[in-house]
Amino acid sequence: MNILESKIQTLTVFFDPRCSTYSHPGHPERPERVILTVERLSRQQHLPIIWQQPDSVSKTASIRAHHQSYYEALSSSTSDFDEDTPYYPGIHDHALRAAGGALGAMKVALSGKPAFSLMRPPGHHALPERAMGFCYLNSMAIAVLEALRLGAKKVAVIDFDVHHGNGTEAILHGCPGVMFASVHQSPCYPGSGLAHRSPNIFNYPVPTDSMPAVYREAFAEALARLTAFDPDLVGVSAGFDAYRLDPLAQQHLEKDDYHWIGTQIKALSRPVFGVLEGGYSEDLGQLVEAFLLGWCGGSNQGSR
């Protein structure tokens, strides 16, 4: 490792191979998303990684974010939740482990080190009372509320998934000591996030078919708002579906744009944890790697 590479921060990545054991024919939220990403991160030599298996999140932590009746229904249901969000055998346990990955990453971040949860299912569309948009439990919201319980005074969430994080917004709206900012395409699923919501929700919709500079500008505005909030912990809902080849949206980000987003996160100089949300192209592993390299101080040249 040369002198420049030695400055790259070691990253803790939470992953459990069981999250790749369920699937639905033709569904874009498929096991290959994490399998291929893990393979790429494991092959490359530019980003030092500590791999860690998450624990399942507890019921107590889950029902801070979700209605208890929904939590119990998730464990007992055998029917699809909506047309986008199928029932899978054991989906309750998969969702608990994904939320556990977010919780584990949050705790590592509280110790001053970067951490990322590379798990599925994603979580940012899950509402207090129901699943939707491929999401069953809201991993980010669960982690934020647990961070407050552990003593964090001010927690900010920034979500750069191309789809608005409506579930995270719904759970965190009005929560003392919390700020939520989302940069997303509009119009696009789920159709929300058109404006700020007092007192702590800030939405930055980007028009369909925008150039990367427009998405970057919106992200910079959201980050400036976050910096003014002056949090002692930052959660990043990292979605990679604003990529130009992603099948579920109409944006034009490239790998270099995700590396740039990572560098902006690093420049916050605050404890940060990240959680995988969306991203459905075949290039997801490259995009995640570029983002993580930017966040940890590595050059994008290493991810060619």
Catalytic residues: 125
What is the widest separation between alpha-carbon atoms in the chain? Answer: 55
Helix and strand element counts for the chain (H, E): 9, 8
Chain Cα centroid distance, residue 110: 17
Q: In Å, how far are 107, 110, 157, 225 from 151, measured between CA atoms?
A: 11, 10, 17, 23
Contact 102, 117 (CB under 8 A): yes
Rg value, the chain, Cα: 17
DSSP state of 47: S
Per residue, the 3-state secondary structure of 1-34, as one string, reads CCCCHHHCCCEEEECCHHHHCCCCCCCCCCCHHH
Residues whose CB falls within 8 Å of the CB of residue 233, separated by 6 or more in sequence, listed in order: 106, 109, 110, 147, 152, 154, 155, 156, 270, 271, 272, 273
Cα(21)–Cα(266) distance, integer angstroms: 33
Cα(284)–Cα(150) distance, integer angstroms: 33
Contact 143, 157 (CB under 8 A): no
- Helices 68-76 and 91-110 meet at what angle, rounded to 10? 130
Cα(94)–Cα(45) distance, integer angstroms: 30
DSSP state of 54: P
Phi and psi at residue 237, to the nearest 5°: -85, 105
